[in-house]
Amino acid sequence: MKSSLSRSVAVGVLTVGIALIVWTAVSGPDDDPVVAEAASTPTAAPQPAPSETPSTSAAATAEPSATAAPTTTTTTEALEPIPVLGTAFTLSRLDGWLNTEATSLEEIRANNEITVVQFWTFGCRNCKNTLDALGELYADFGDHGVEIVGVHAPEFAYEADVDNIIDAAAKLGVTWPIALDTQKYNFHVWQEGPTGYWPRVYVIDSDNQIRFDRRGDSPRKYRELYQIVDRLLAET
Protein backbone atom coordinates (compact mmCIF):
# COMPACT_ATOMS: atom_id res chain seq x y z
CA MET A 1 0.00 0.00 0.00
CA LYS A 2 2.79 2.35 1.01
CA SER A 3 4.80 1.39 -2.06
CA SER A 4 1.80 1.96 -4.30
CA LEU A 5 1.22 5.38 -2.79
CA SER A 6 4.82 6.47 -3.13
CA ARG A 7 4.82 5.30 -6.72
CA SER A 8 1.67 7.27 -7.46
CA VAL A 9 3.17 10.38 -5.91
CA ALA A 10 6.38 9.86 -7.88
CA VAL A 11 4.46 9.44 -11.12
CA GLY A 12 2.56 12.63 -10.35
CA VAL A 13 5.71 14.60 -9.61
CA LEU A 14 7.41 13.26 -12.71
CA THR A 15 4.43 14.03 -14.93
CA VAL A 16 3.93 17.54 -13.57
CA GLY A 17 7.64 18.28 -13.75
CA ILE A 18 8.01 17.14 -17.34
CA ALA A 19 4.81 18.97 -18.29
CA LEU A 20 6.16 22.17 -16.74
CA ILE A 21 9.43 21.88 -18.64
CA VAL A 22 7.62 21.24 -21.92
CA TRP A 23 5.15 24.04 -21.30
CA THR A 24 7.92 26.50 -20.45
CA ALA A 25 9.97 25.43 -23.46
CA VAL A 26 7.01 25.84 -25.79
CA SER A 27 5.80 29.16 -24.38
CA GLY A 28 9.32 30.55 -23.87
CA PRO A 29 10.49 32.94 -21.21
CA ASP A 30 9.07 36.45 -21.03
CA ASP A 31 12.49 37.90 -20.62
CA ASP A 32 15.94 36.62 -21.35
CA PRO A 33 18.08 36.23 -18.31
CA VAL A 34 20.97 38.37 -17.35
CA VAL A 35 24.21 37.01 -16.11
CA ALA A 36 25.78 37.82 -12.82
CA GLU A 37 29.37 37.40 -11.96
CA ALA A 38 31.02 36.69 -8.68
CA ALA A 39 32.82 39.78 -7.58
CA SER A 40 36.55 39.93 -7.30
CA THR A 41 37.86 42.58 -5.03
CA PRO A 42 39.99 45.07 -6.96
CA THR A 43 43.59 44.62 -6.03
CA ALA A 44 44.50 48.23 -6.52
CA ALA A 45 43.98 51.08 -4.14
CA PRO A 46 40.32 51.69 -3.43
CA GLN A 47 38.50 54.75 -4.57
CA PRO A 48 37.53 57.48 -2.16
CA ALA A 49 34.92 56.07 0.14
CA PRO A 50 31.42 57.34 -0.42
CA SER A 51 29.55 58.88 2.44
CA GLU A 52 26.96 56.18 2.05
CA THR A 53 27.16 52.80 0.50
CA PRO A 54 25.05 52.57 -2.62
CA SER A 55 22.80 49.59 -2.13
CA THR A 56 19.21 48.66 -2.46
CA SER A 57 19.02 47.94 1.23
CA ALA A 58 19.74 51.57 1.93
CA ALA A 59 16.46 52.48 0.36
CA ALA A 60 14.57 51.24 3.35
CA THR A 61 16.37 53.46 5.82
CA ALA A 62 17.51 56.43 3.83
CA GLU A 63 15.92 59.74 4.64
CA PRO A 64 14.45 61.41 1.64
CA SER A 65 16.38 64.51 0.76
CA ALA A 66 13.45 66.46 -0.53
CA THR A 67 9.75 66.41 -0.68
CA ALA A 68 8.02 65.63 -3.89
CA ALA A 69 8.48 68.41 -6.34
CA PRO A 70 6.26 69.49 -9.19
CA THR A 71 6.70 67.03 -11.97
CA THR A 72 5.66 66.50 -15.51
CA THR A 73 4.51 62.98 -14.71
CA THR A 74 0.83 62.70 -15.41
CA THR A 75 -0.59 61.15 -12.29
CA THR A 76 -3.07 62.24 -9.69
CA GLU A 77 -1.59 60.12 -6.91
CA ALA A 78 0.60 61.62 -4.21
CA LEU A 79 4.15 60.71 -5.12
CA GLU A 80 6.55 59.20 -2.63
CA PRO A 81 9.73 61.21 -2.16
CA ILE A 82 12.61 59.72 -4.10
CA PRO A 83 15.05 58.38 -1.51
CA VAL A 84 18.74 59.07 -1.46
CA LEU A 85 20.56 55.74 -1.60
CA GLY A 86 24.08 57.00 -1.11
CA THR A 87 26.84 58.92 -2.80
CA ALA A 88 27.84 57.68 -6.21
CA PHE A 89 31.31 56.38 -6.87
CA THR A 90 33.39 57.77 -9.67
CA LEU A 91 34.60 55.83 -12.70
CA SER A 92 38.31 55.22 -12.79
CA ARG A 93 40.87 52.94 -14.42
CA LEU A 94 38.82 52.94 -17.57
CA ASP A 95 40.23 51.82 -20.88
CA GLY A 96 38.62 54.71 -22.71
CA TRP A 97 35.31 56.15 -23.82
CA LEU A 98 33.16 55.72 -26.89
CA ASN A 99 30.45 57.99 -28.33
CA THR A 100 31.66 61.04 -26.40
CA GLU A 101 34.39 63.62 -26.14
CA ALA A 102 34.25 63.39 -22.37
CA THR A 103 37.00 61.62 -20.51
CA SER A 104 35.47 61.25 -17.07
CA LEU A 105 32.17 60.76 -15.31
CA GLU A 106 32.69 64.06 -13.53
CA GLU A 107 32.91 65.86 -16.86
CA ILE A 108 29.65 64.32 -17.97
CA ARG A 109 27.97 65.10 -14.66
CA ALA A 110 29.15 68.70 -14.86
CA ASN A 111 27.33 69.14 -18.15
CA ASN A 112 24.11 67.44 -17.12
CA GLU A 113 21.59 67.47 -14.31
CA ILE A 114 20.90 63.75 -14.20
CA THR A 115 23.20 60.89 -15.11
CA VAL A 116 22.00 57.35 -15.68
CA VAL A 117 24.77 54.82 -15.21
CA GLN A 118 24.18 51.30 -16.45
CA PHE A 119 26.60 48.41 -16.11
CA TRP A 120 26.21 46.23 -19.16
CA THR A 121 27.98 44.03 -21.64
CA PHE A 122 26.89 43.56 -25.22
CA GLY A 123 26.79 39.76 -24.98
CA CYS A 124 24.29 39.86 -22.13
CA ARG A 125 20.81 39.28 -23.49
CA ASN A 126 19.05 41.02 -20.67
CA CYS A 127 21.24 44.06 -21.15
CA LYS A 128 19.97 44.15 -24.69
CA ASN A 129 16.42 43.91 -23.37
CA THR A 130 16.90 47.25 -21.64
CA LEU A 131 18.28 49.17 -24.60
CA ASP A 132 14.94 50.15 -26.09
CA ALA A 133 13.89 51.66 -22.77
CA LEU A 134 17.18 53.51 -22.46
CA GLY A 135 16.92 54.66 -26.06
CA GLU A 136 13.49 56.11 -25.36
CA LEU A 137 14.81 57.83 -22.27
CA TYR A 138 17.72 59.24 -24.25
CA ALA A 139 15.45 60.48 -27.03
CA ASP A 140 13.09 62.18 -24.59
CA PHE A 141 15.57 63.64 -22.11
CA GLY A 142 18.97 63.59 -23.82
CA ASP A 143 18.65 67.23 -24.81
CA HIS A 144 17.22 68.26 -21.45
CA GLY A 145 20.08 67.65 -19.07
CA VAL A 146 20.06 63.87 -18.88
CA GLU A 147 22.99 61.74 -19.94
CA ILE A 148 23.32 57.98 -20.03
CA VAL A 149 26.65 56.32 -19.39
CA GLY A 150 26.87 52.69 -20.36
CA VAL A 151 29.72 51.18 -18.41
CA HIS A 152 30.74 48.27 -20.56
CA ALA A 153 32.10 45.56 -18.27
CA PRO A 154 32.76 42.45 -20.35
CA GLU A 155 32.04 39.02 -19.00
CA PHE A 156 34.11 37.08 -21.52
CA ALA A 157 37.12 37.74 -23.69
CA TYR A 158 35.24 38.40 -26.93
CA GLU A 159 33.27 41.13 -25.16
CA ALA A 160 36.48 42.91 -24.17
CA ASP A 161 37.57 43.57 -27.75
CA VAL A 162 37.00 47.24 -28.52
CA ASP A 163 36.21 46.59 -32.17
CA ASN A 164 33.54 44.13 -31.13
CA ILE A 165 32.12 46.66 -28.69
CA ILE A 166 32.01 49.35 -31.38
CA ASP A 167 30.30 46.97 -33.81
CA ALA A 168 27.82 45.81 -31.20
CA ALA A 169 27.03 49.37 -30.07
CA ALA A 170 26.30 50.36 -33.67
CA LYS A 171 24.10 47.34 -34.27
CA LEU A 172 22.26 47.77 -30.98
CA GLY A 173 21.73 51.49 -31.46
CA VAL A 174 23.68 52.52 -28.41
CA THR A 175 24.43 56.16 -29.12
CA TRP A 176 25.08 57.33 -25.58
CA PRO A 177 28.56 57.46 -24.04
CA ILE A 178 30.18 54.12 -23.28
CA ALA A 179 32.86 53.84 -20.62
CA LEU A 180 35.16 50.88 -21.21
CA ASP A 181 35.59 49.06 -17.93
CA THR A 182 37.47 46.15 -19.43
CA GLN A 183 39.01 44.97 -16.18
CA LYS A 184 35.65 45.32 -14.42
CA TYR A 185 37.26 47.45 -11.76
CA ASN A 186 34.31 49.83 -11.53
CA PHE A 187 31.85 46.97 -11.96
CA HIS A 188 33.06 45.50 -8.68
CA VAL A 189 33.59 48.79 -6.87
CA TRP A 190 30.05 49.97 -7.55
CA GLN A 191 28.52 46.60 -6.84
CA GLU A 192 29.72 45.64 -3.41
CA GLY A 193 29.35 42.14 -2.08
CA PRO A 194 30.27 38.76 -3.48
CA THR A 195 28.19 39.03 -6.65
CA GLY A 196 27.82 41.69 -9.34
CA TYR A 197 25.06 41.76 -11.92
CA TRP A 198 24.41 42.68 -15.52
CA PRO A 199 22.53 44.81 -16.11
CA ARG A 200 22.44 47.09 -13.09
CA VAL A 201 21.33 50.67 -13.44
CA TYR A 202 21.73 53.73 -11.23
CA VAL A 203 20.35 57.25 -11.46
CA ILE A 204 22.63 59.98 -10.13
CA ASP A 205 21.32 63.42 -9.37
CA SER A 206 23.09 66.77 -9.63
CA ASP A 207 24.48 66.36 -6.11
CA ASN A 208 26.11 63.05 -7.05
CA GLN A 209 23.57 61.15 -4.97
CA ILE A 210 22.21 57.81 -6.13
CA ARG A 211 18.43 58.04 -6.40
CA PHE A 212 17.65 54.75 -8.14
CA ASP A 213 19.36 51.36 -8.18
CA ARG A 214 17.97 48.21 -9.81
CA ARG A 215 19.31 44.84 -10.93
CA GLY A 216 17.87 42.94 -13.85
CA ASP A 217 15.91 43.88 -16.92
CA SER A 218 12.36 44.18 -15.67
CA PRO A 219 10.41 46.44 -18.06
CA ARG A 220 8.41 47.62 -15.04
CA LYS A 221 11.60 48.83 -13.36
CA TYR A 222 12.74 50.61 -16.48
CA ARG A 223 9.38 52.40 -16.67
CA GLU A 224 9.98 53.40 -13.07
CA LEU A 225 13.45 54.58 -14.07
CA TYR A 226 11.89 56.82 -16.71
CA GLN A 227 9.51 58.30 -14.16
CA ILE A 228 12.28 58.87 -11.63
CA VAL A 229 14.39 60.71 -14.19
CA ASP A 230 11.36 62.75 -15.20
CA ARG A 231 10.66 63.73 -11.59
CA LEU A 232 14.28 64.48 -10.74
CA LEU A 233 14.54 66.66 -13.80
CA ALA A 234 11.46 68.53 -12.69
CA GLU A 235 12.99 69.00 -9.22
CA THR A 236 16.06 70.61 -10.68
Partner 1 sequence: MSTLVDTLTEGISVITWACTLTALVPGLALVLVARKARLTVALYYIAGAAFMAWAQAAGHWWVSAQGAAVVIAGFVAAATYVAAWRAPGHSSPLATGAGLVGGALAGWLWRPCVGEHLGDILNNAATDGPRTLALMGLYMAGVLLPLLLIAVAPYAVPAVGRLLDRLPFAIAGASVGAAYAVALAIGQYDDLIGELYRISAGY
The nearest distance, CB 215 to partner 1, in angstroms, is 5
Give the DSSP H or E segment for 166: helix 162-172
Residues from 158 through 187 that contact partner 1 (CB under 8 A): 158
Residues 6+ apart with CB under 8 A from 71: 79, 230, 231, 234, 235
Which segment (57-65, 105-113, 174-182, 201-209) binds partner 1 by CB under 8 A?
Answer: 57-65
214 contacts partner 1 (rule: CB under 8 A) = yes
Residue 42 near residue 189, CB atoms below 8 Å: yes
Contact 89, 185 (CB under 8 A): no
Q: Hey, which residues between 79 and 108 contact partner 1 (CB under 8 A)?
A: none
Among 111, 195, 223, 236, contact with partner 1 (rule: CB under 8 A): 195
d(CA 87, CA 172): 31
Among 11, 66, 110, 170, indicate the residue that binds partner 1 (CB under 8 A): 11
Contacts of 160 (CB under 8 A, 6+ apart): 154, 182
Does 193 contact partner 1 by CB under 8 A?
yes
Q: In whole angstroms, what is the distance from residue 146 CA to residue 126 CA? A: 23
Sites of contact with partner 1 (CB under 8 A): 6-7, 9-11, 13-14, 17-18, 20-21, 23-25, 28-41, 55-57, 59-60, 123, 126, 155-158, 193-195, 197, 214-221
